[in-house]
Amino acid sequence: EVPATATSEPSNVAVVEAIGLAGPSHKTSVEVNRKIREFLWEPNFHANTPAEILANTNKPRWNTDVHFNVTPNKELVNRLLVVLERKFAGDGMRTKDLRDKLHKNFINRCKQEKISAAAKEITNTRSRRARRAGENHKRRTKAYGSNMVAINQEMGRDCANALPKEAMSGGESDDEVSETGRRRVIRTVRPSWRSDEYNRFIQVIDRFVGLQLGANSHQLLSRVYGRTVDVAVPTNLNPSLAQWALRHGL
C-alpha cells in the first residue's frame, strides 16, 4: 500500500499559530494607543465648548504619586483592560500586550508631570527674582532720594548717577536658602564687572533701606554674598556708570 502524500496546504491550526506569533499589526497598536489616550484625562486638552472641557475633566487619570500596580491605578488598569480586550482581542492583542501599553502610557504621564513641575518651578523662580529685583530697585531709589546727603558723604562722592536698575540687579541670580538657626537668606551672585566700591555703595543703600522701613524691615530677606560670576558690563545702562563703579581695566 502506497502511503498518502503529505499535503502542501497549511492547516487552520498552523495559520492561527502564525498569526499569534506575528502579533498585532502596527495599525492596531496605533489604534490601541489612541483609544487609551481617548479614555484618559488629557492635561493639555483644548476645546471650544464648555461641555467638551467638562467631559475631559471628568475622565479618569493616573495617580503619578503611587506605583502602576497600586490602588487607584490598579483598578483603573482593570477598567481599561475590559474596554480594550473587548475591542482588540480579535486583532492579535493579548492581555499582556494591552497591559504593557497601559504601563507605557503611565510612565509617559509620570515623565511629563516631572518635566511640567520642573518647568513651572523655573518659571516661578525667574518671576520671583524679577519681581524682587524691581522691588529692591524701587526701595533703593527711594532710600537714596531721602538720604542723598548722608549716602554721598559716606561714599565720599556724588552717587546720583549710580542707580541704574540694570547695574544694581542685572546679572545677579539670587537663590533663597535656609540656614541652620536662621531665617531664610538670599545668596547673591555678583557680576564680575562691578568694583568693590560699587558693591559697597549697594550695601550702604540697603542699610538705609532697612532704616527707612523701620519696624517693617524684618519683612526683607537678608542678602549675603555667594559668589562672583564673570559677565560683561551691560550695554543698556542709562545713565552710564562712572569709572569708579567699574572694576579696574573695564
* Mean pLDDT, residues 208-218: 83
If pLDDT is split at 50, 70 and 90, which confidence band does 9 have?
A: very low
* Mean pLDDT, residues 131-153: 92
Can you tell me whether residue 101 is helix, strand or coil?
A: helix
> 222: which strand partners?
185
CA distance 242 to 250: 11
| pLDDT at 97 > cutoff 50 | yes
- Strand ranges inside 139-216, DSSP E: 175-178, 184-191
- Mean pLDDT for all residues in the chain: 83
| pLDDT at 217 > cutoff 50 | yes
* Mean pLDDT, residues 220-239: 80
Q: pLDDT tens digits for 119-129?
A: 888 888 888 88
- Res 27: pLDDT: 92
CA distance 148 to 141: 10
More reliable by pLDDT, 80 or 172 = 80
**Do 236 and 166 touch, CB atoms closer than 8 A?**
yes
- Res 181: pLDDT: 55
| pLDDT at 212 > cutoff 60 | yes
**Do 106 and 72 touch, CB atoms closer than 8 A?**
no
More reliable by pLDDT, 123 or 101 = 101
**Do 231 and 192 touch, CB atoms closer than 8 A?**
yes
Q: pLDDT tens digits for 103-118?
A: 999 999 999 888 888 8
CA distance 140 to 41: 49
- Res 12: pLDDT: 44
Please report, rounded to a whole number, the percentage of residues in the chain having pLDDT higher than 70. Answer: 83
- Res 183: pLDDT: 63
* Mean pLDDT, residues 133-148: 91
